Amino acid sequence: MSLLLAPWTRLSLLVVLLVSAGACVVLYEPQRLLSRGWPPELPLGAGVLLFAAAYGLCTAAFVPRPLLNLAAGAVFGSAFGLVAAVGGTVLGAAVAFGLGRVLGQEALRPYLRGRWLLAADGQLNRHGFRSVLAVRIFPGVPFAAANYLAAVSRCGWLPFLLATALGTVPNTAAYVIAGASAASPGSPAFLVSSGFIALSAVVAGAVAWRKRHRLAPPASEAPAHRPRAVHPPVVTAAPHGP
């Protein structure tokens, strides 16, 4: 029993679950089922709840959220699609956070090394809500990576989920509106939402480009190149004659 509860055993189980989930996504493409095979006879409220549940499981299995957001807009329209997408986002974040916290935190925390990882861990420990909110608003940070990094840290459940619910609304709304108006690509709603998505991607790329120099280690951590020591030539005295 103690072997089953060992940190590395739980981490191995987490890895198996994530690999299996990723394989299922590649084989079955659940995002297509959500966008094309959704039963239309379901009541609206039940449909939104079931879609949010399926959305959450799909995000925990690494299905890209933009595809799911487009599907939510196509199935339910802008308003109810946004409710389903944000609800599914919070549920998926909670599933990933819970898996990472229960199965991976104890095994991985001793290996938090490096300037970037330690800085991120410190921010999440001290300023959980503010840090997660910034990560969710910035569109360039992978959703799953942020979930599992927060799980390994000591960020609390409530700040994590509340910041996720608030911070993902702008980008999620843009994709949902684009999905809801995709049948009319010339409509103002589709053009505005598509422009917002493109602008967000450009801003994220520009910020990442400007901050790229911070990836290099500081001068104090760079290996010092010591000049090769130059030894003076050995001068030997000439032998004296008789």
**Distances in whole angstroms, Cα of residue 103 to Cα of each of 29, 35, 212:** 26, 32, 33
**Does the pLDDT at position 10 exceed 60?**
yes
For residue 77, the model assigns a pLDDT of 92
* Residue range 213-222: mean pLDDT, rounded: 47
pLDDT at 211 exceeding the cut of 70: no
pLDDT of residue 217: 45
Closest CA to 71 of 101, 97, 98, 37: 37
Radius of gyration, alpha carbons of the chain:
26
Residue at token pair 């980008």: 171
Length of the chain: 242
Residue 239 has a CB neighbour count (10 Å cut-off) of 5
3-state secondary structure of 224: coil
Q: What residues contact 156, with CB distance under 8 A and at least 6 apart? A: 128
Q: How far apart are CA 78 and CA 89, in angstroms?
A: 16
pLDDT in tens, 122-167: 777 788 888 899 889 887 788 988 898 888 888 889 999 999 999 9
Q: What is the DSSP string of 109-172?
A: GGG--SHHHHHHHHHHHHSHHHHHHHHHHSTTS-HHHHHHHHHHTT--HHHHHHHHHHHTHHHH
Is residue 178 within 8 Å of 74, Cβ to Cβ? no
Its pTM stands at: 0.75
DSSP letters along 60-99, please?
A: HTT--HHHHHHHHHHHHHHHHHHHHHHHHHHHHHHHHHHH
Digit-coded pLDDT (tens) for 21-66: 778 777 777 767 676 656 777 888 898 999 999 999 889 888 889 9
Q: Going by C-beta distance under 8 Å and a sequence separation of 6 or more, which residues neighbour residue 200?
A: 139, 171, 174
Whose tokens are 């549940």? That residue is 53
Q: Assess whether pLDDT exceeds 60 at residue 224.
A: no
Helices first, then strands: H and E counts in the chain: 11, 0
Span 207-233, average pLDDT: 52
CA distance 62 to 147: 11
pLDDT tens per residue across span 225-236: 444 555 555 555
